[in-house]
């Protein structure tokens, strides 16, 4: 495995515009379970219950959604970045990070210190809430305090509209501006690092796919195989905290 780590590090050394794409695997090492893994939320809840149209149309669906979402937020709120997050911050400090696209909604890349303008949260964030009608923003902790006081389904105090965490639900349109920015970077980057993503959730997974098609060297670090492994210059099946720092922020100088 060390040969693969060194090969990946050389690719990064010789690259100037690196796109990093992160998935749930980087957050599990901070204690946030993957929704799809054993013990994750989808082993307790049925994902079919959380489609956006049901959330909009059914008060009972909203109540169940908020129960699930509050449970997830309780885990995310106090989670801390791990060495893999800090390795990506180091890549930015080296001046090589073009864009950080994350499927995660936990805000850990912000906590790690990456510049907000470098981060694209393709599935949104669980750390804030907005009214779907008037767009008024709310701090998540304020809404959770309402729920602890007995409010099962919070509504907007400005217009009475439906409140929802700023995440992208099943069946909800992806943010076009974020997707466009990510795809433009994918077409222009010279290296793309996939960290902790199974690359099975679309359209998000189309971003590293586009990078590979556009000629970027693809580096995949994930515990399990992905559909893009055959197209990657380097594939490492290992824990991210174990290897990502050696790839993105090695102690030694540039390699030949």
pLDDT values of the chain reduced to their tens digit, one per residue, 256 residues: 899 999 999 999 999 999 999 999 999 999 998 766 655 565 666 777 788 999 999 999 999 999 999 998 999 999 999 999 999 999 999 999 999 999 999 999 999 999 999 999 999 999 999 999 999 999 999 999 999 999 999 999 999 999 999 999 988 888 999 999 999 999 999 999 999 999 998 899 999 999 999 999 999 999 999 999 999 999 999 999 989 999 999 864 444 4
Q: Which residues pair with 163 in a beta bridge?
A: 131
Tell me what pLDDT residue 43 has: 60
Contact 211, 233 (CB under 8 A): no
List domains and CATH numbers for the chain.
1-32+80-123+174-256 (3.40.50.1220), 34-78+124-167 (3.30.1600.10)
Model-level pTM? 0.91
**How many residues are recorded in the chain?**
256
């994902």: which residue's tokens? 47
203 prior amide bond cis, ω within 30 = yes
Tell me what pLDDT residue 33 has: 83
Q: Which of 85, 109, 110, 123 is catalytic?
A: 123
Q: Is 110 a catalytic residue?
A: no
Tell me what pLDDT residue 250 has: 81
User: Distance between CA atoms of 167 and 218, rounded to whole angstroms?
Assistant: 28
User: Distance between CA atoms of 11 and 196, rounded to whole angstroms?
Assistant: 19
Tell me what pLDDT residue 48 has: 75
């Amino acid at each position: 495995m060390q040969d693969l780590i060194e090969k990946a590090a050389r690719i990064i050394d010789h690259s100037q515009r690196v796109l990093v794409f992160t998935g749930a695997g980087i957050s599990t090492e901070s204690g946030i379970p993957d929704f799809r893994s054993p013990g994750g939320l989808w082993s307790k809840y049925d994902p079919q219950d959380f489609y956006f149209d049901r959330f909009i149309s059914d008060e009972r669906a909203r109540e169940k959604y908020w129960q699930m979402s509050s449970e997830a937020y309780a885990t995310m709120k106090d989670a801390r970045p791990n060495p893999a997050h800090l390795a990506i911050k180091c890549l930015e400090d080296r001046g090589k990070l073009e864009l950080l696209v994350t499927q995660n909604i936990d805000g850990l890349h912000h906590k790690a210190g990456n510049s907000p303008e470098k981060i694209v949260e393709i599935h949104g964030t669980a750390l804030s809430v907005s009214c779907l009608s008037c767009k008024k923003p709310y701090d998540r902790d304020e809404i959770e305090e309402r729920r602890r006081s007995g409010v099962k389904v919070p509504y907007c105090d400005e217009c009475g509209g439906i409140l929802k965490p700023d995440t992208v639900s099943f069946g909800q349109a992806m943010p076009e501006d974020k997707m466009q920015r990510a795809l433009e970077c994918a077409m222009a980057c010279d290296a793309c690092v996939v960290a902790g993503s199974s690359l099975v959730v679309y359209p998000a997974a189309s971003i590293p796919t586009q990078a590979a098609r556009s000629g970027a060297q693809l580096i995949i670090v994930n515990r399990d195989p992905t559909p893009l492994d055959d197209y990657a210059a380097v594939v490492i099946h290992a824990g991210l905290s174990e290897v990502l720092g050696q790839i993105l922020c090695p102690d030694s100088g540039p390699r030949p």
